[in-house]
Homo-oligomer: A and B are copies of this chain.
Amino acid sequence: MKSQEELLAIVEQAIVAGAWKREPQGLYEPIEYVLSLGGKRIRPCLTLMACNLFTDNLKEALKAGIALEVFHNFTLLHDDVMDNADTRRGYATVHKRWNINTAILSGDAMLIEAYKLITDVKSDRLSEILTIFNTTADEVCKGQQYDMEFESRTNVSIDEYMEMIRLKTAVLLAGSLKIGALIGGASEEQSQLLYNFGIYMGLAFQLQDDYLDAFGNPKVFGKAIGGDILCGKKCFPLLTALELANAQSRAKLNDFLSLDSKKNKEEKIKGVLEIYREMGIDKICAEKVRLYTEKAQKCLENLGLSAEKTDPLFKFSQSLSTRKK
């Protein structure tokens, strides 16, 4: 069993070694740039960890993991254009550093590259692997579509939000795990349990994101608190507050939300957070994260494998849901 750190090193090495110095440079340089910006490499690590539960031969799982990481970075590249984001991981986004056309076309080439890698996996279960990859890729697009639609909608329910983050975030973690499991030789039931583990962990991960954006410690969090409040994002804390508030609290909340995010930045964040805390939204959110993490870990227990084997995935789920940044 390899530790998460060992697997991360393998992934990082494979990404750096990837032959991105291709012609035309104008197409591939942005791809190399995006992939070199770092990130947690969660998806390929999950693929390797899931595979490693069943075998020590990680060669094909590594290929699949890189495919999933390239796919993930393709979605970030195109999402950044759609969200008009200036920076990603502290660096200029591709459409800012180059231009929108480059971001579109290099993104397309990345998606094709992801398919090159995944279709090249040697496995007698390739057909099933490709079905998961295709379905997942399609679902991630749907998630992004819902996310964009929610921006202009005023009646988003918590259930709709949970479905959106399932599609946009959780299915790719789940797919990464299931593909690794299939390559490693898991049974149908085991690979489905690992898929479910990924879904629950993905939901916990995103809800922890929402939690930290509102209730994180600014000194540890690494970025300013209240970003979601300022851009009016229909995230879990806001949707929960709107659903649970009485008429008086809702009116007060809406008053603060309608403040100008530039002129009354501090007042807006402070006001909304105060209501959140009065209503106990921080506790509800933290409890939800704990619940999903518990559900995820239950899936691991049901795999029928030793605690020693599942330990890296157990620790991983623990670290994601207790992270402070």
Q: Which residues of A contact B (CB under 8 A)?
A: 23-24, 26-27, 78, 81-82, 100-101, 104-105, 107-109, 111-113, 115-116, 119, 127, 130-131, 134, 137-138, 141-142, 144-146, 148-149
B104 touches A82 (CB 8 A): yes
18 A-B residue pairs with CB within 8 Å? A24-B145, A24-B146, A26-B148, A27-B142, A78-B104, A81-B101, A100-B100, A104-B104, A105-B144, A105-B145, A108-B108, A108-B111, A109-B141, A113-B138, A119-B119, A119-B127, A119-B131, A119-B134
Given contacts A108-B111, A111-B108, A148-B101, contact A130 B119 (CB under 8 A): yes
B130 touches A112 (CB 8 A): no
The distance in angstroms between the C-alpha atoms of A142 and B127, with both chains bound, is: 28
A81 touches B109 (CB 8 A): no
The distance in angstroms between the C-alpha atoms of A24 and B163, with both chains bound, is: 12
Whose C-beta in chain B lies nearest to the C-beta of A108?
Answer: B141
The distance in angstroms between the C-alpha atoms of A178 and B149, with both chains bound, is: 41
The distance in angstroms between the C-alpha atoms of A149 and B105, with both chains bound, is: 12
Whose C-beta in chain B lies nearest to the C-beta of A24?
Answer: B145
The distance in angstroms between the C-alpha atoms of A78 and B26, with both chains bound, is: 17
A141 touches B78 (CB 8 A): no
Given contacts A24-B142, A27-B141, A119-B130, contact A78 B149 (CB under 8 A): no
Whose C-beta in chain B lies nearest to the C-beta of A84?
Answer: B101
A145 touches B27 (CB 8 A): yes
**Minimum Cβ distance to chain B for residue A33 (Å):** 15
**Minimum Cβ distance to chain B for residue A117 (Å):** 9
The distance in angstroms between the C-alpha atoms of A100 and B95, with both chains bound, is: 14
The winner among A78, A141, A142 for most chain B CB atoms within 10 A is A141
Whose C-beta in chain B lies nearest to the C-beta of A75?
Answer: B108
B149 touches A134 (CB 8 A): no
